[in-house]
Structure 1
Amino acid sequence: MLNEDKLGHYLQKKYAESHQIQTDKALYGYALELKQTYLKNAAAIDKVIFDNHLTVDHHALGLNTAISRVQGGKLKAKKEIRIAALFKHTPAAFLRMIVVHELAHLKERDHNKAFYQLCEHMLPDYHQLEFDLRVYLTYRDAIKNKPSISS
């Protein structure tokens, strides 16, 4: 499909729904809503932001971290989720997939069977979306690197 210039049309047709989540505040609200629906007993999230430094080149589209700080003699751990800024401009389904992935890390640190079962619980077509996201990123990369025809 890529070689026949059909992949872009296929992806656009399959994932036509866009989203309006463009700010860190909106992303935090979106992630918190998903967490409250599926992971009520998981650790609280202190911060969810779009990160311009996360890219496919760095093999990270999202990060889930716990930042430990000493506050008045007590050790406090703050949970942060960072989502690659490229998801501001992807179809809604791909943003949901990456947020679900990072939320699942609140309960399961490793990419094991329990982790993927949790992802499937929160997003029943998780595996298909993860695959299609990889296809989408491959397509993006291919058209970005496609030589232009000059006259």
Structure 2
Amino acid sequence: MKPLKYLQGYPAHLHDQVNRLIAEDRLGAYLSQRYPGKHGIQSDKALYAFTVDLKQAHLRNAPVIDKVLYDNRLDLTHRALGLHTTVSRVQGGKLKAKKEIRVASLFKDAAPEFLQMIVVHELAHFKETDHNKAFYKLCEHMLPGYQQVEFDLRLYLTWQELERQSQG
């Protein structure tokens, strides 16, 4: 059985189940059944509005988000599907910090739940910098079922990689 790099840290019985789905060529069908749709958020402007709406619904006291965009440079080779950054610039005599969220472009064609999971994850970093219990509790608050969607996203990434390997 092939090691599942996106599922490291998960128990062996889950690896066995996923490897069985892969061996039976059913992983794509499983994901299509659970996540049949694709979202319509294709522009950076629409992504910004989507992110601000989520922030307003759950994190009203968090800092203002200055920029949200799809980033072609973020991908699995960089081990980042989304980034939250603070860009400091000198304006006049003051130092201004601008908050930005970048989402990997591969999410333009993903299920809406996967896009929402990535945005929730990056928004949670504005309150909790580390991946600790409070961070995941906040993610679960903003997106009930967060942990299952994160696991399924990892399955999706595994499936995408298998598809690329079979084509190349």
TM-score for both structures, normalised by structure 1: 0.96
The match for 1:102 is 122
The yes-or-no answer on 1:78 pairing with 2:98 is yes
Question: Matched residue of 2:22: which SS?
Answer: coil
Structure 2 residue runs without a partner (length 5+):
1-20
Per-residue deviation, residues 80-100 of structure 1 (Å, max 9, x unmatched) = 000000000001100000000
The CA distance in 1 between the partners of 2:27 and 2:88, in whole Å, is 44
**1:147: Cα distance to partner?**
5.6
The match for 1:13 is 33
Structure 1 residue runs without a partner (length 5+):
none
**1:17: Cα distance to partner?**
2.1
- Aligned pairs for 1:1-151 (under 5 A) are 1-146=21-166
**1:50: Cα distance to partner?**
0.2
One-letter identity of the residue aligned with 1:28: Y
The percentage of aligned residue pairs carrying the same residue is: 61
Q: CA RMSD in A?
A: 0.9
TM-score for both structures, normalised by structure 2: 0.86
CA gap of 1:20–1:70, structure 2 versus 1, over 3 A, is same
The CA distance in 2 between the partners of 1:63 and 1:84, in whole Å, is 9
One-letter identity of the residue aligned with 1:79: K
Which has more helix, going by share of residues?
Answer: 2
Count, aligned residues: 148
Question: Matched residue of 1:109: which SS?
Answer: coil
